[in-house]
Amino acid sequence: MLKANPEFLLIRNSEGMSIFQCAVLHRQAKICSLIYELEGVEALLAERDKSGNTILHLAGMLTEHTPIYDQIAGAALQMRREVQWFKDVESICLPITRELLNDQGLTPRQVFRKTHLSLKENAKRWMKETTNSGLVAATLIVTLMFTTAFTTPGGNSEETGLPVLINDTQFKIFMVTVSVSLFSSSVSLLMFLRLFTSRYVEEDFLISLPIKMTIGFFALFISIGTMIAGFCLAITLQLQGQRSILIPIILLVAFPLWTFSWVFIPLLDAVVGSSFRSRIFDRK
């Protein structure tokens, strides 16, 4: 429609906003992409509505119904999307736009912080509640693996004090899995502690916090997997040749890993996809 009749760009609503400004306010990425391809869009970027808000002020406002929330679970990821939207709009505006004041005497950054205060607190609470479960699990695994490293299957030799099965290949693999589980759970524990001590400013939700959460849960997943593998190897060393008992036990202990994957992999997918996605709308 705009290509057929560019005069549609001159239409304003009751608040004095153009169609481009409305699209930015309501997070309509596809509409923004289409309008940005048109000639003369630079003039729209410099316009203000009746309240003196520039297009960057509108990008910093949080509306009650935001379409980009439909496929985003979790307040922290919603907050990240809002920060990304503001950054994307800021990148197409002139640098001077960042310091312009509206009729309330607020810059775009101040408008963003004011309207997103509640979402920021919810995002902080959601982030801590989500990582708290991982923190507990990582702590338990660290304690368990540290104890397991000094409790070897088959016992130790009375003469040398070395493990009896020290030359057994399965025993060597067992020690490797225990070491990997201890290392990865320690990394997960440190990442979750970093999340609890973060500043939780707006920019942190863009890259820093999602990456820490991704590393934390990915390391926790590895630690659980290697812990279960170490348990299976230990049982195999203790019950060599007893396949009728070994197979059901191995299948049973693999169930927690499947449960963890079913619960947290969708969350990791959302966090990773949100963290490494390119710009929200195309700038052609």
Mean pLDDT over residues 215-220, rounded? 89
Q: What per-residue confidence (pLDDT) applies to 270?
A: 66
- Is the CB of residue 197 less than 8 Å from the CB of residue 254? no
Rounded Cα gap, residues 185 and 129, in angstroms: 19
Nearest-Å Rg of the Cα atoms of the chain is 27
Which of 154-158, 174-178, 232-236 has the lowest average pLDDT? 154-158
Which of 49-63, 191-205, 265-279 has the lowest average pLDDT? 265-279
From residue 207, give the alpha-carbon distance in Å to each of 45, 129, 269, 273. Answer: 27, 19, 15, 12
Q: What per-residue confidence (pLDDT) applies to 57?
A: 94
User: Which of 52-65 are b and which e, b meaning 16 or more Cβ less than 10 Å from the residue's Cβ?
Assistant: ebbbbbbbbbbeee
72: how many CB neighbours lie within 10 A of its CB? 17
192: exposed, middle or buried (Cβ count in 10 Å: 0-12, 13-18, 19+): buried
- Is the CB of residue 282 less than 8 Å from the CB of residue 33? yes
Asked if the model's pLDDT at residue 274 lies above 60, the reply is no
Asked if the model's pLDDT at residue 44 lies above 70, the reply is yes
What is the chain's mean pLDDT, rounded?
Answer: 81
pTM for this prediction: 0.77
Q: pLDDT tens across 81-133, in order?
A: 889 899 989 988 888 888 899 999 999 999 999 999 988 998 889 888 888 88
**pLDDT bucket at 56, cuts 50 / 70 / 90:** very high
Which of 47-56, 64-73, 187-196, 230-239 has the lowest average pLDDT? 64-73
φ, ψ of residue 156 to 5 degrees: the values are -115, 155
Mean pLDDT over residues 201-214, rounded? 85
Asked if the model's pLDDT at residue 137 lies above 60, the reply is yes
